[in-house]
Every structure is written in structure tokens, then in C-alpha cells.
Amino acid sequence: MKGSRWRLPLRYGVLAYLALLVVVPVGAVFYHAFSPGLGKAWDAFTTPDGLHALVLTLLVVAVAVPLNTVFGVGVSLILARQRFPGAWLLDALIDIPLAVSPVIIGLSLILVYGHTGWWGNWLAARGITVIFSVPGIIMASAAVSLPYVVREVLPVLQEIGTEQEQAARTLGAGPITVFRRITLPSIRRGLAYGVTLTTARVLGEFGAVSVVSGAIAGKTQTYTIFISQSIDNLEPQAAYVGAVVLCLAALIVLSLLTLTDRNRDAWHGKVAT
């Protein structure tokens, strides 16, 4: 259809669809956040509940992302380098959080760690509160973002093989040196991509977290819950400013992804391998 009469209508049709579905709505949020003036926007940003929610979200990121990074790299190494019975099952089970609604992930955690859950009495007897508390929020965030690092690192490990590692080993390098000097540099881009995706997911998680958090303002309210509740409490300004903060985070994530993008090479290069 090169140079066909459909080319321009198709182009503008596509641009209009994207504008109405994505660009204009996102732009409208920015407009609403700043239209009352920068001072008002700053006031809405610095409410105690809002700041507390932001700090809590950053705390959750600081715990859940490293956990999932260590898990992701470890599992990738195991799946790529070892044969053991049930490896295929482990490989398949890791993807489950992608297939399950986040609300159900939250519900499932309540059923084990909640006060009426399987381990509720055991935990209560030790004075540990998981659900409606910060540990539950961290667990929910870690659960939904669990597959990303594995999905990015495992294919790279499988592709690079073990020749270089073997060579390093025969030259006398210890296992930690081999990992640090050979394995880690080769998976660096995939790892960066996976960690960025994990961070984005944890920052923006809502469904799973809102089931387990209890959403107590100034206590167990994450930033996404704060935004949603600001709308419910008819404080749209706070919600818009919060949304702008997360939008900016998303834009940072997008640029990081573009910087470390190995998929884009695949999209434009060889594909049907």
C-alpha cells in the first residue's frame, strides 16, 4: 500500500486514536494539577498524608525490588545452569502473577496471613501483623512484580551459554569472581530492564495493595491508594498532583527502558528466530 490513498487517513486515524485514548487524558491531568497555580499544587503535594503515602511507597520499593532482584537472578541462574526434576514446573509457576488479577493476589495473601487465615493464629501469637500493615503491602507488591527480573535475565543467560564462565574457571577464577566479572556484565542490560519493570510495577501497584493494606491514611496508605482516596474524598487537586508525580516516575521508567532496551533491537532486527 505504498503511497496509497489510504496512507494519510490511516496515519491521522491512528494519531487521533492515540491522542484521545492516551495523550489528551494524560495531558488533562497535568493541566488540572497545575492550573490552580504552582503554590496550590505544592500545597496539595505536601499534605502530611500525601507525603507519608509517598514515603511508604518508596519504602515498599526499597524492600520489594531488591528481594525480587535477588530472587530473579538466583532463579534465572538455577533454571539456566542446572538440571533438576521439576525445573519446567518452576519456570511455569513463576509466570502465575502475570495471569492472576492483582485483587486475587491480595485476597490470597489475606487467606494465609490474615487473622482468620491459615497462619493467622500462629502469627498473632507472636504479635506479628502482616495484613492491614506494612509487611502485607510489601508482600503483595513483591508477589505481583515477581516474574519481571526472571523473564528478562533468564533468556540472556540461556543465550550466552557457559563457555566464558568455563574459561574463567579453568584460569583459576573463583565462583564469586566468575559471577562478578563474567556473568553479571553479560546480563547487565537484561537485569537493568527487569529491575526497572519491577520498580515501575511496585510503584504503581494498586489492586493487590488495596486489598491487603486497609488504607489507613497516614499509616498504611500507599501513594496509589492515596490518589484513589483523594478522589473519593473530593480532593481532586491532591489526586491530580499525585498522579503527576507518578506520571513523571513513569516517564523516567520509560526513558530507562528505552536506554536499556534489548527488545527494541529485536523489534527492528531479526525477529523470527
Partner 1 sequence: MSSTGVVVDDLGLPGSGNAPADHRPGRGHRRRRPPSVPPPALAAAGRVVSRAGGPALAVTYLSLLVLLPLAAVVAKAFSGGWSTFWAEVTNPVAVSALELTLVLSAIVAVVNSIAGLAISWVLVRDDFPGKSLVSAVIDLPFALPTVVAGLTLLTLYGVNSPLHVDLAGTRLGVAAALLFVTLPFCVRSVQPVLAELDAETEDAAASLGATRRQVLFRVILPSVLPSVLAGAGLAFARAVGEFGSIALISGNLPFKTEVASSYIFGLAQSDDFTGASAVSVVLVSIALVVLLVIGWFRRRFDIPDTI
Considering only residues 159 to 178 of the shown chain, the ones binding partner 1 according to CB under 8 A are: 162, 165-166, 168-170, 174-176, 178
Residue 216 is classified by DSSP as: -
The CA–CA distances, whole Å, from 57 to 79, 130, 213, 246 equal: 31, 16, 12, 11
| 179 lies in the binding site for partner 1 (CB under 8 A) | yes
Nearer to partner 1, 47 or 210 (CB): 210
Total Cβ atoms within 10 A of residue 198:
27
Nearest distance from C-beta of residue 254 to partner 1, angstroms: 5
SS (H, E, C) 151-187: HHHHHHHHHHCCHHHHHHHHCCCCHHHHHHHHHHHHH
Give the number of residues in contact with partner 1, rule: CB under 8 A.
Answer: 103
| 18 lies in the binding site for partner 1 (CB under 8 A) | yes
- Give the Cα separation of 103 and 105 in Å (integer): 5
Nearer to partner 1, 15 or 62 (CB): 15
| Alpha helices in 82-119, H assignment, sequence order | 87-93, 96-99, 102-113
Nearest distance from C-beta of residue 191 to partner 1, angstroms: 13
Nearest distance from C-beta of residue 39 to partner 1, angstroms: 21
The CA–CA distances, whole Å, from 3 to 6, 9, 10, 16 equal: 8, 12, 12, 20
Q: Which of residues 22-81 bind partner 1 (CB under 8 A)?
A: 22-26, 28-29, 32, 67, 71, 74-75, 77-78, 80-81
| 152 lies in the binding site for partner 1 (CB under 8 A) | no
Nearest distance from C-beta of residue 114 to partner 1, angstroms: 8
| Alpha helices in 114-162, H assignment, sequence order | 120-125, 134-144, 147-160
Nearest distance from C-beta of residue 241 to partner 1, angstroms: 11
Residue 125 has which C-alpha cell?
501469637
Q: Which of residues 87-116 bind partner 1 (CB under 8 A)?
A: 90, 93-113, 116
For partner 1, the binding residue among 44, 60, 142, 156 (CB under 8 A) is: 142
Nearest distance from C-beta of residue 59 to partner 1, angstroms: 17
